[in-house]
Amino acid sequence: MDAGAQGATGRPCARYLTAAMRGAVRPLLGLLVGGGLLLLLEGGLRAAGVAGAGEGQFFSVTTNGDGLRTRLARPRTPGVSRVALMGDSTVFGWGVDDGGTLADGTQAALDGVGVLVEVLNAGQPGYSTTQAAWLFGEVVQAYRPDRVVLFLSRHDYDYVPVSDREALSGGDGFASRVRVRLASSSRTYQLLRGLLWSRTDAPALHPRDVTGEPRVPRVGDAERACCVGEAAARVLPDDPGHLSAEGNRVVGAAVAAALR
């Protein structure tokens, strides 16, 4: 009697366990199939050369107390000339490790021909020509360079509500002063910008971007010429991209040839 009772109650338990196992296996199979498909997709994208979001974004950067990517100190080395390279992230060496910047490439080329020159990397990511001129007066001139090579920044051609010069010294006329004040401190103006014009969430626009909002060049042609003159710079062609370490070596050799 007891054995029969146990047998009768055992069969429902077995059916319950079987159903539970099936319920657990199905999600597991789904995960395995889904994971396999994702692996196939990942392999296909890699084979096609599609880069991931984080690939190529990690690089080592060392800066000094002035925020410059250089090992040079402010005091000059006796008997050695000094040249400062200024500009934006291209000069700074965005995307390459320490030792692979444009200044490093220029220094190596000069050292290779026995020219005693120290090359100062004074590039700053995102800087315009106006900001480079400001940085020269605030920091770089304390390093007492004999020459300055200024790479014109692609950021000069961004369109912004307030130009860099206006941000530093205010607007020229009544209309520009009103615009600077509104853009800098009026919350109502900021709200109206978003309602009236597209792309107002973008702090800077390229000339090809379309918006109805009145914007001015970040740095005008006349302002750029003034900054170049004040820095006594040798102007080299603007490069809108970021060079690899090999690219910096090649361009650095050209810069070194111009400096000799």
- Does residue 134 share a domain with residue 116? yes
Q: Are residues 139 and 89 in the same domain?
A: yes
Amino acid identity for residue 249 in this structure: R
Which residues is 205 bridged to in the sheet?
A: 159
In sequence order, which residues have a C-beta less than 8 Å from that of residue 202 and are 6 or more positions away? 209
* Contact predicate 85/151, CB 8 Å: yes
Which of 22-31, 213-222, 228-237, 242-251 is least confident? 228-237
Give the residue from 190, 231, 197, 207 showing the smallest Cα distance to 155.
Answer: 207
- Residue 195 sits in the same domain as residue 121: no
**Half-sphere CA count of 34, side-chain side, radius 13 A:** 6
Judge if 123 and 226 occupy the same domain: yes
Residues 129 and 10 in one domain: no
Q: What b/e sequence results for 90-103 when a residue is b if at least 16 CB atoms lie within 10 Å of its CB, and e otherwise? A: bbbbbbbeeebbbb
Shared-domain flag, residues 147 and 187: no
Q: In total, how many domains does the chain have?
A: 3
Between residues 106 and 260, the one the model is more confident about: 106
Neighbours of 68 (CB within 10 A): 21
- 141: pLDDT strictly greater than 50: yes
Residue 60 within a domain:
no
Co-location of 140 and 205 in the same domain:
no
**All residues at 6 or more sequence positions from 178 whose CB lies less than 8 Å from its CB, including other chains:** 171
> Residue 138 sits in which domain range?
81-157+219-259
Same domain for 153 and 88, yes or no, is yes
Which of 183, 199, 217 lies at the terminal end of a domain, its last residue? 217
Answer whether residue 236 is part of any domain: yes
- Domain assignment of residue 74, yes or no: no
Judgement on whether residues 253 and 148 belong to the same structural domain of the protein:
yes
Taking residue 160's Cβ as centre, other Cβ atoms within 10 Å add up to 20
Q: Are residues 194 and 246 part of one domain?
A: no
pLDDT tens, position by position, 42-88: 787 777 766 555 444 578 999 999 999 999 999 999 999 999 999 99
